[in-house]
Amino acid sequence: MTRPGDILGDRWVLLERIDAGAMGEVFRAEHQVLGHAVAVKVLLPEMTRDQGAIDRFLREARIAAKLRHPNVVRVEDYGLSSDGRPYLVMELLRGESLARLLARTPRLRPSVVLALVHQIADALDTAHAAGIVHRDLKPENIFLSGPAEALTLKVLDFGVAKFTDALAAGGGATASNTLVGTPRYMSPEQAQGRPLDGRSDLYAVGVMLFQMLTGVVPFGEDDAVVVMAHHIMTPPPRVLDLNPAGNIHPSLDALVAASLQKRPGDRPASAEEFLRAIEALPVEGARAGLTSGPFGGSARHPRVTATRTATLLALLLGLGIALFTALPMRRRALAPLAPAGPAAPPRPTPAPPAPVPEAVAPVALPPPDPASAPAAYVDDAPSPAVATRARRRRSHRRSTSRTPVVSVTSPPPAPPHAPYPRWSD
């Protein structure tokens, strides 16, 4: 049993126990000669009979030693204690885990969230470039130190991490076909035991990003199988729906949604692309305006878009009513609104009036020639019956004439007829 005062590897003196977990316990220690402070992680006695736990311990040591990054915990030594327990010597960190911070303050300011996620993505970019996938990113494995306004972090526990070539051969499970990772932060492909790459880690970062902005994880059921089923099939809620008053930029909401896509191909392609998207976001997460980052506006929140559209339509409608009211009545009469429906046919052009015939002067009849009259009618004065018949014949001739006679002025009086000779006895 390891206790304070023990010396490991003839050089590391254990001073005090500072933490414990499911697999091991952590001591504050110092180098016996140099005197610099370190943290020593020792495997629990009951875990020494589990060869998988021992292999995980050794894997963490090798991967952490391979990665040299300011946001990855530094490993200085590895060995076995006198009772055969593996131990790992790491840099001593002073602070607390992200899980403890979220337990006190479930929701963090967008500026703090972006600063933390930027450091996580930067560390993952280095790990993925080395062919390493963490596979167990969660708040318990993110250690914070420094003042609240300038927090720095370290990514811990690469014990279940694997190289991508080993993952391609063995998928997301261990040699004993047991899934590794934490269900609430598992990607859909990891929950199904499929081959993994760096985009699986970005899904876990998306879950933590969601949690820091809303105070809850997307799927928080107690049953691990139910949670993994949700990760595989159920679309997660949107950040703006759960925290509409959190001063969260719509592009940040879109980035979280892109990170939590079910298909790896729909997420950011790499940690480097994820970093560029974070750097394009406003530092304070302000609502006004959209950025031109790779996810700025590509998945705008439907409620925000609908509200902006309704506001714009209302402004345009009010402007139109104001302009229409300000027009003079004469201008409105000159430009009437076109009626709905098909256009009315054009009115027919009226035919020109018929020309008025010229006036024709009346024709005066010559007086009858007594010499040409029949002998029976030769008389000094015709009888009344004969005169009447003559007037009728003249009237009939005028009425049957084809040429209309329009009298403009009164015709001159006809000369008096010579008296017919009377019938002589």
- For residue 388, the SS3 value is helix
Rounded Cα–Cα distance for residues 404 and 400 (Å)? 10
Identity of the amino acid at 156: L
Catalytic residue, from 136, 157, 201, 253: name it.
Answer: 136
| DSSP-H helix ranges across 105-261 | 110-129, 164-170, 188-191, 198-214, 224-233, 239-242, 250-259
Encoding tokens for residue 216? 């809850």
Rounded Cα–Cα distance for residues 215 and 209 (Å)? 10
Please confirm, yes or no, whether 425 is among the known catalytic residues: no
Rounded Cα–Cα distance for residues 73 and 68 (Å)? 9
Radius of gyration of the chain (CA): 55
**CB-based burial, 57-88: b 16+ in 10 Å, e otherwise:** bebbbebbeebebebbbbbbbbbebeeebbbb
- For residue 374, the SS3 value is coil
Q: Which helix (H) or strand (E) holds 88?
A: strand 86-91
Q: Which helix (H) or strand (E) holds 154?
A: strand 152-155
Angle between helices 198-214 and 271-279 (to 10 degrees): 30
CA–CA distance from 255 to each of 19, 275, 416 (Å)?
35, 11, 124
Catalytic residues: 136
